[in-house]
Amino acid sequence: MIRTIRSSRESRQRPSLRRGQALIEFALVLPVLALFLLSILQFGVLFSTQVGITNAVREAVRNASALPVASVSDATIAANSVYSRLTGTNGLLARTGSSYLPGALVQTGSPRTQVCYYSYLDETNNWSIMARVNVQYRHPLFIPVVSSIIDGFDGATDQAYRIGVSEEVRVSNGILANTDIGNNGNPTCIG
């Protein structure tokens, strides 16, 4: 009889001990799970912005390739037009559908946001013109613990992650015997 009473007491105490143990395990695992989920959220927003900027740059470079360019003055006018369409208030970057902030666009230093035209000799010894659109964007990191971990990944500790996208395409010109647009080492750039 005593055994029966003792075993029933032990069985009554075990579930409460197990619940206490589960609570402690949950308290230990919760911060790790929260950090993991917040990291997924931060990287998801960064990836979404990267995709939006890539699409905007591709559309801008397609636009740049459709403008006929044969001289430095043509290249300057075309680059200004494409740059305005890319970075304007209702420009391609503003319509990316992501969390784009115009003030986070890198417009000084190197590399920076630019629209460039440069020339090269093609295989038939005629001059061809290339258009290059380069966007550098510093996306703000908004989750404190995660941002302190990934802030230095891009080489700068500025509470932002640098996203860079560059595309280039040949301009649809006719055959050019000569041009005053510089080559890749000395392109005509706006931005």
Domain boundaries, the chain: 2-190
Reading the chain (191 residues) residue by residue, the pLDDT tens digits are: 455 555 555 555 555 556 678 788 888 999 999 989 988 988 898 888 899 999 999 999 999 999 988 888 888 999 999 999 998 888 898 887 767 788 888 888 888 899 999 888 888 888 888 899 999 999 888 888 777 778 777 777 788 888 899 999 998 877 777 777 877 678 888 88
Contact predicate 46/161, CB 8 Å: yes
Nearest CA-CA partner of 117 in 163, 67, 164, 165: 67
Half-sphere exposure at residue 16, Cβ-oriented, CA atoms within 13 angstroms: 5
The model's pTM? 0.79
DSSP code of 151? G
Query: How is residue 75 written in tokens?
Result: 């290249």
Strand partners, 139: 161
Nearest CA-CA partner of 164 in 132, 129, 186, 131: 132
